[in-house]
Structure formats: C-alpha cells, structure tokens
C-alpha cells in the first residue's frame, strides 16, 4: 500500500486544512458496492479525506454507502453533503440535513451545500444553514453551481467570510470558471471545488491531439494523463478536486497527483491543447 501524506491547503474563510484531492461519490450506487466502500476507505487511508456526497445521489443510497465506509473513522473525513434545491426552504433544509446525517451515521457535516440555485429564496436556505451551524449539525456551509453574480448575492446574504465553498464543473475541456468564478472566490477566500475533474467519463482520448498532448506530459513525468489533469486543475491555491473513483487503484493514482508539479512548458502545452475559451455568462453544470 502506498504511504502518502496528502497535500492539504486552507479551505474557505475558516482556513481549516483540507486535502487538495478528495473523493466524489456520484453514481456509486451503480458500482460494485464492496469496491466502492474499499475505495472510500482507501481514500481515507491515503489522506484524500474530503468525501463529497449528496442527498440526490442514488436517492439516499450513496449517503448510506458513505456512512458504511466511514463508520468508526468519522473524525478522519471532511464530509460534505448537499441539499436539493426543491428541499431548500428554511424548514426543508433543516429536515433534509437531518435525513442526510441519519443516512451517513454521523451527527455533523463538515460542510453543507445548496446543490444548485433553485426557486426557494436563498435567504431562507442560508438562514437554515446558520441554524444548523448553531445547532452543531454542520461546521460550515456553501453553494454549488453558482456563477459570479449568484455568489455575490450569497455573500451579501450570508455576510463576508461565511461561504466556505463553491463546488463547480471544472475539467480540461471546461475552463469557463477561470474567467470570473475563480478570481471572485479568491478575492472572497471561498474554496473552489472542481467537480467532474475527468469530464465525468469523457476524458480526453489519445485519438485526439489533446489526449496525445496529455499523454506526452504524463510519460515525461512517469505518471498517468489523469494525474496530469488533476495537477493542472489544482495548480491554483484556492482549488480542490473531488474525482470519483470506485476502484481502489484509481484512488491511489489520484492521490499521487497531489505531488505532481507541472513545468512551465507542461502548462503551456496544456493551455494550447485545452484553451480556456471565451468569457461567457453563467456556469456550465452537469
């Protein structure tokens, strides 16, 4: 087994130290259950302790699976879950959080997120987050799939230094958040958490120029193209990534990526193969 000290960095305004590479869990209900559980435990073993889940995933099945994986090891994890926008009224958010805690077998979350902007007033959701925080049921709160203007509104409502993270789609083929979301988060000290860092199953293929460029960099460093992608995304000091891996060997690969330092010429080759693209309104989401 790889012995690893995972690179960590201050996360959000509280500055709590969190692993740069974590473990996503979307769609794990469809994976081999034993392998998924071993993968989450491997992530904890190797210091990839930022475990991301949501009430939506498998309609609660994934939170139960995560609960089983972290049983007896709760304190090691930086555990994040999300409320569905349809549940995000003041009372609905509190009730959803309590259901998530029960499924996860814990009495607190390290961070609780609004999964994406919805129709319940954001003031209500944030009020519920504050109540949950005061009750000790969550240690921090944040948002997901928020663009810069939605984030500004969240900061106005919650107050400065209150929004811990914005979890957003970010991979080599989708770099839109680099224009406005990342700079604004950096200004406000909000952690940016890159979801679907491998394009959620649409990773650059070696049949394409981009895939070949990645592969050349990977070969030069003796690593995989997936590791190069993670190193590129997390090169910025406010950015964390939560690749989903239900295969323990993939978890080990992802953890190793935290130590990979890309050279200026690697970065230039990636910029050329995967350009940032034009500034556009909104954030892309899956």
Sites of contact with ligand NAP (CB under 6 A): 24-26, 52, 115, 144-145, 167, 195-201, 226, 242-247, 250, 253-254, 285-286
Catalytic residue check, 57: yes
Q: How far is CA 106 from CA 25, 65, 74, 135, 193, in A?
A: 17, 13, 7, 14, 23
Q: Positive or negative, the Cα torsion across 226, 246, 110, 6?
A: negative
Among 62, 90, 89, 187, residue whose Cα is nearest residue 80? 62
222: left (phi over 0), alpha (psi -120 to 50) or beta: left
What is the C-alpha to C-alpha distance for residues 200 and 212, in angstroms, rounded to an integer? 19
* Count, residues in the chain: 286
Tell me whether residue 38 or residue 160 sits nearer to ligand NAP (CB atom): 38
**Chain-centre distance of CA 212, in angstroms?**
27
**Smallest gap from residue 285 Cβ to ligand NAP (A):** 6
**Smallest gap from residue 265 Cβ to ligand NAP (A):** 23
Tell me whether residue 185 or residue 265 sits nearer to ligand NAP (CB atom): 185
Tell me whether residue 110 or residue 253 sits nearer to ligand NAP (CB atom): 253
Tell me whether residue 72 or residue 201 sits nearer to ligand NAP (CB atom): 201
**Smallest gap from residue 116 Cβ to ligand NAP (A):** 6
Identified catalytic residue from 57, 170, 184, 195: 57
**Smallest gap from residue 151 Cβ to ligand NAP (A):** 14
Tell me whether residue 78 or residue 198 sits nearer to ligand NAP (CB atom): 198
Question: Which residue, judged by CB position, is nearest to ligand NAP in the bound state?
Answer: 24
User: Where does residue 12 rank: exposed (0-12), middle (13-18), buried (19+ CB within 10 A)?
Assistant: buried
Beta carbons within 8 Å of 180's beta carbon, 6+ residues apart:
147, 148, 279
Helices 209-221 & 264-273, crossing angle to 10 degrees?
Answer: 160
Q: For the residues of 27-60, what is the DSSP string, one character each? A: TGGGS-HHHHHHHHHHHHHTT--EEE--TTGGGG
**Smallest gap from residue 178 Cβ to ligand NAP (A):** 17
Active site residue ranges: 57
């Amino acid at each position: 087994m790889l012995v690893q000290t995972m690179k960590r960095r201050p996360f959000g305004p509280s500055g709590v130290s969190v692993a740069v590479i974590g473990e996503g869990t979307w769609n794990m209900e469809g994976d081999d259950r034993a392998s998924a559980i071993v993968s989450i435990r491997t992530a904890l073993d190797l210091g990839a302790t930022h475990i991301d889940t949501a009430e939506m995933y498998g309609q609660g099945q994934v939170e139960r699976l995560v609960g089983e994986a972290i049983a007896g090891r709760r304190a090691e994890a930086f555990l994040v879950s999300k409320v569905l926008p349809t549940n995000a009224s003041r009372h609905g958010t509190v009730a959803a959080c309590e259901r998530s805690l029960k499924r996860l077998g814990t009495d607190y979350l390290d961070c609780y997120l609004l999964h994406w902007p919805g129709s319940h007033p954001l003031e209500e959701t944030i009020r519920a987050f504050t109540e949950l925080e005061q009750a000790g049921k969550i240690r921090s709160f944040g948002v997901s799939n928020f663009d810069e203007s939605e984030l500004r509104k969240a900061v106005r409502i919650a107050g400065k230094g209150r929004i811990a993270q914005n979890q957003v789609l970010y991979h080599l083929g989708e770099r839109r958040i680099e224009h406005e979301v990342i700079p604004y988060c950096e200004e406000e000290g909000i952690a940016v958490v890159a979801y679907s860092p491998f394009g959620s199953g649409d990773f650059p293929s070696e049949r394409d120029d981009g895939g070949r460029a990645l592969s050349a960099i990977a070969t030069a460093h003796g690593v995989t193209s997936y590791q190069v992608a993670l190193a590129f995304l997390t090169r910025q000091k406010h950015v964390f990534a939560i690749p989903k891996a239900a295969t323990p060997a993939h978890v080990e690969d992802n953890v190793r990526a935290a130590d990979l330092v890309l050279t200026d010429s690697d970065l230039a080759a990636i910029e050329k193969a995967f350009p940032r693209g034009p500034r556009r309104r909104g954030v892309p989401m899956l």
